[in-house]
């Protein structure tokens, strides 16, 4: 009887250990995250990430399954600021998350839609974006640009102002109204 009892204890222990290992590996697979080497990432995914967040260095790439689709989460550092860019296998940017910028976090507290915004230096804005904004508001002067992702599409929000110079006599008669020409300041 003692041999049967010993055998039963060993069998139960083996099943518990084996079951724990199986449950652990299944939980790991449910997470879906898999570290991927840079050479294994499709070129269109890397290109999309580099267009979305220019410059810097890619430090980590994870491949995961979201809603049945392959998504690459690319971690990139630009000027000491860490970005996480989610890109589909087809090269569509789903989300850009900027981390480690405490100043930016305060500005976006009222933005609960899960989309991120970041201020962009004018020198980092694609020329096509600047041309399109100036075509839309020919007399406008660009004062600020923010880049965000809306429904998987990179959008540049260009803030522009149009300044007028108005000459008025002391008696209140308008003598001249003209739009400030910022082009002279650029030369």
More confident residue, 178 or 15: 178
CA distances to 110, 111, 133, 149 from 106, rounded to whole Å, are 9, 10, 27, 19
Residue 79 has pLDDT above 60, yes or no: yes
Read off the pLDDT band of 75 (50, 70, 90): very high
pTM: 0.44
Domains observed in the chain: 31-100 (3.10.450.40), 117-187 (no CATH)
Supply the pLDDT for residue 163. Answer: 79
What are the pLDDT digits (tens) for 96-153? 887 754 444 444 444 445 556 788 888 888 999 999 988 888 888 888 888 888 777 8
More confident residue, 85 or 150: 85
d(CA 151, CA 52): 14
Supply the pLDDT for residue 112. Answer: 44
Q: Give the pLDDT mean for 73-79.
A: 89
Supply the pLDDT for residue 117. Answer: 76
**Which residues lie below 8 Å from residue 63, measured CB to CB, with a gap of 6+?**
33, 34, 35, 36, 70, 71, 72, 73
């Amino acid at each position: 009887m003692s041999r049967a009892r010993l055998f039963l204890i060993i069998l139960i222990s083996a099943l518990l250990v084996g079951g724990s290992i199986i449950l652990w590996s299944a939980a790991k697979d449910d997470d879906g995250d898999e570290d991927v080497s840079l050479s294994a990432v499709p070129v269109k995914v890397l290109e999309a990430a580099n267009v979305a967040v220019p410059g810097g260095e890619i430090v980590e790439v994870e491949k995961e399954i979201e809603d049945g689709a392959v998504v690459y989460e690319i971690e990139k550092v630009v000027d000491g600021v860490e970005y996480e860019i989610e890109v589909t296998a087809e090269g569509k940017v789903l989300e850009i998350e900027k981390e480690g910028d405490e100043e930016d976090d305060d500005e976006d507290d009222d933005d609960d839609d899960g989309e991120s915004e970041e201020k962009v230096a004018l020198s980092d804005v694609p020329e096509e974006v600047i041309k399109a904004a100036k075509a839309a508001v020919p007399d406008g002067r660009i004062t600020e640009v923010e880049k965000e992702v809306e429904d998987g599409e990179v959008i540049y929000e260009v803030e522009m102002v149009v300044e007028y110079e108005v000459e008025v006599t002391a008696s209140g008669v308008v003598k001249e109204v003209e739009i400030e020409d910022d082009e002279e300041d650029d030369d």
